[in-house]
Amino acid sequence: MLAEVLKSDITRLDVDAIVNAANRSLLGGGGVDGAIHRAAGPGLLEECGKFGHCDTGKAVITKAYNLPCRHVIHTPGSVWRGGGNGEAELLKSCYMSCLSLACDYELETIAFPSISTGIYGFPLREASHIAVFTVFSWNKDFPRKVIFVTFSEEATEIYREVLSRFNVR
């Protein structure tokens, strides 16, 4: 698996799929979800509305409308409630569900934001471990490359450090 950390606005990336840290209604929200819907335009909301709902840790795939990428994979993140409520398992499941869709659609490159580490309050370091560990445990043919998209200096440093333990740049 090729992997890299990129500090960027995820809506600008020209990749096969970007992941949206969504909520269960799939009707848009703040943070990266709001940015993705604003950049994609109203078609995205309309398509999301057809699903009605998505459970935490699961994922759905849509077209990308006005975004430069090809698809958006929406996964409702794990809400941090102190750490003893299955939060880690649910966050891992978010990554697995997205990777599984990328595999089904034979997507080469997928870009993840740091799911759950904004409004949902998941500690950044623990979330980055789960993200990187889950991606490197994935041993199917697709995706071939994962981009961990960070939005702050702090997140960029943490992800770079965690990724360096897997001996990749």
Q: Which residues are catalytic?
A: 33
Q: How buried is 12 (Cβ within 10 angstroms: 0-12 exposed, 13-18 middle, 19+ buried)?
A: middle
Minimal distance in Å, beta carbon 12 to ligand ADP?
A: 8
Q: How many residues bind ligand ADP (CB under 6 A)?
A: 21
Q: How far apart are CA 91 and CA 6, in angstroms?
A: 20
In 16-157, where do the E strands start and end? 17-22, 60-63, 71-76, 109-112, 145-150
Q: Binding mask 66-95 vs ligand ADP (x if CB under 6 A, - otherwise)? A: -----------x------------------
Which amino acid is residue 9, in one-letter code? D
Q: Which is nearer to ligand ADP, 106 or 161 (CB)?
A: 161
Interacting residues with ligand ADP (CB under 6 A): 9-11, 21, 31-33, 35, 77, 113-120, 149, 151-152, 155
